Amino acid sequence: MGQYNAPLRDMQFVLHELLRVEEEFKQLPKHAEIDAAIINQVLEEGGKFASEVVFPLNHSGDREGCKLDKETHVVQTPKGFREAYQQYVEAGWPALSCDPEFGGQGLPVTLNNSLYEMLNSANQAWTMYPGLSHGAYEALHAHGTPELKSLYLPKLVSGEWTGTMCLTEPHCGTDLGLLRTKAEPQADGSHKITGGKIFISAGEHEMSDNIVHLVLARLPDAPSGTKGISLFLVPKYIPNADGTLGERNKIFCGAIEEKMGIHGNSTCQMNLDGAIGWMIGEPNKGLNAMFVMMNAARLGVGMQSLGLTEVAYQNAVAYAKDRLQMRSLSGVKAPDKPADPIIVHPDVRRMLLTARAYAEGGRAFTSYVALQIDRELNHPDEEVRKEAADEVALLTPIIKAFLTDNGWIATSEAMQVFGGHGYIAEWGMEQFVRDARINMIYEGTNTVQSLDLLGRKILMDNGSKLRKFGAKVQAFVEENGTNEAMSEFVTPLADLGEKVTKLTMEVGMKAFQNQDEVGAAAVPYLRVAGHLVFAYFFAQMAKIALEKRDSGDDFYKAKLATARFYFARLLPETAMLIRQARAGASSLMALEADLF
């Protein structure tokens, strides 16, 4: 069903020419020996695994879904999923960027990020199993006791065991302060956890020997709200001291959610009835520990939509080159055929270029953020680590919300290219649309991400993080402002930078009078900020393409054309968004609730 080829050339362009990661890695002692040959080899092998092993299971996994045996509580994943996962483990992919102390390969997060783009293009539902495990690894690695880390991390790193995050309850989604799951301390230092969780991705399956659940719950004397939440490690099977599996823990899947997409992933209702768990981090400070996993998941969800954007684009292009319909308005383009291929039509080009631009912009953006994570984790200079951490904090909600919005737009446009065939399951396009829609919802809805960006990341620190990123944009503008060939990119970038500054100040002043102004402006504001980031990276990519357009490599010609399309057709959306953000809360809040 359809096709997927890893976009290795563009990945290499982003990593080697745009970000110059080899030079960056030399500043990080842990990664100083990582060169272009290693990077390219990992990308090539990862691309092969994604396209040859995982992608063939995408359509069949969607059709088959997961099955729960309610008597045994065993979940069966679609045919081939378990075998593909075993290949993944045997090849060492789970350990790629993990700590060598626990069996990891210690490669940069930047490389792991590129691997996950390819896996998500190939099969988002399948990729969620190892993806969530990596998040659990990060949370435990950052906050677990030495005893928990020595027992659980080697198994998570190897992929022998997988992980989940158990936050949501039926009455409690984003507002975690309302959660009711209880944790009763035991004499041996463990806790008995009782409660129910819903929407737990990869909550139960047969792909790995054990599943490590990270569960939020309340201690008996916990204060109300988010200040009374603790985090616990609750394994499916309680391991013995030597790591072998012991008794089955009292955490079971009660039902699998029937949902519109990602059918190949077991989204479970999990019931805990006195399940044994061990605390991660400090009492009543579980959110601090869980946020490690939640932030990793938010970046991961952005990568899911980037992956879907790319694969939907590839299939739409292949179809548009092959499908014959009508003649070009400017004259016959295929005289030897009864009609022209639809790629000659301007609006088909618009749809294809929209998906292409959102894929290429998203790839540059997410690779940059992954590189900042590597700097945050490994740079020898504390000030550099802090600057990188601040930038990652600022850009994480933009990745999650802007890329998933774009993924929804791009997959919908790609499906539209197919006309009526796009609506038919056998072509595979409607699955990309269905799968993309969840990404705007989970791990904090895009509205929540927008409130986080504007309210917490920008206004709460008086715009400090935003100004630092803006200084990078301004430096690029000043460096290239006199280059006439760059004016078509630099001028709108500079203009948008100024408008974002003014808009931020305006919303901030309104918020002093009425906090609803933040909620009213947040969603369009985040999208404007996302375009500022994309414009910054597209301007940089255009500069490289301009310098190499006479090299004879058509790649640069295509890159320049895509950048010009982005600035001409997609960036102008910001004019409307700025007006929406400035419109204020009054038109939203004037209608009384009982009149809806």
* Active site residues per annotation: 443
User: Helix, strand, or coil here: 279?
Assistant: strand
Query: Could you tell me if 396 and 450 are in contact, meaning their C-beta atoms sit under 8 angstroms apart?
Result: no
Q: Which two tokens stand for residue 99?
A: 């700590």
- Cβ atoms of 146 and 95 closer than 8 Å: no
What dihedral angle (degrees, nearest 10) is formed by the CA atoms of 437, 440, 442, 443? Answer: 150
CA end-to-end distance (rounded Å), the chain: 44
Phi/psi at 334 (nearest 5 deg)? -130, 75
HSE, side-chain direction, 13 A CA sphere, residue 423: 2
Q: Is the dihedral of CA 209, 212, 213, 218 positive or negative?
A: positive
Closest CA to 219 of 205, 209, 229, 211: 229
Other residues' Cβ atoms within 10 Å of the Cβ of residue 255: 13
User: What is the C-alpha separation between 352 and 79, in angstroms, rounded?
Assistant: 33
Of 105, 110, 181, which is closest to residue 137 (Cα–Cα)? Answer: 105
Question: CA 165 → CA 119, 465, 554, 564, distances in Å?
Answer: 20, 29, 45, 42
DSSP E strand boundaries for 44-188: 67-69, 74-76, 161-166, 182-185
Query: What whole-number distance in Å separates Cα of residue 44 and Cα of residue 115?
Result: 10
| CA separation, residue 575 to residues 531, 572, 579, 582 (Å) | 11, 6, 7, 11
Distance CA 489, CA 124 (A): 34
Task: Give residue for tokens 């960036």.
Answer: 571
Residue 335 one-letter amino acid: P
Q: How many CA atoms lie within 13 A of 153 on its CB side?
A: 21
Tell me if 200 sits within 8 A of 270, measured CB to CB.
Answer: yes
Written as one letter, the residue type at 560 is L
Contacts of 214 (CB under 8 A, 6+ apart): 136, 139, 140, 163, 164, 165, 166, 231, 232, 233, 234, 280, 290, 293
Backbone phi, then psi, for 344, in 5-degree steps? -80, -15
Return the biggest CA–CA distance within the chain: 83
Tokens of 305: 């939509």
Q: Which residues contact 362 (CB under 8 A, 6 or more apart)?
A: 302, 305, 306, 309, 403, 406
Looking at 6-123, list the stretches that DSSP marks H as alpha helix, in order from N- to C-terminal side.
8-12, 21-26, 36-49, 58-64, 81-90, 109-122
Within 263-359, strands assigned E span 267-280
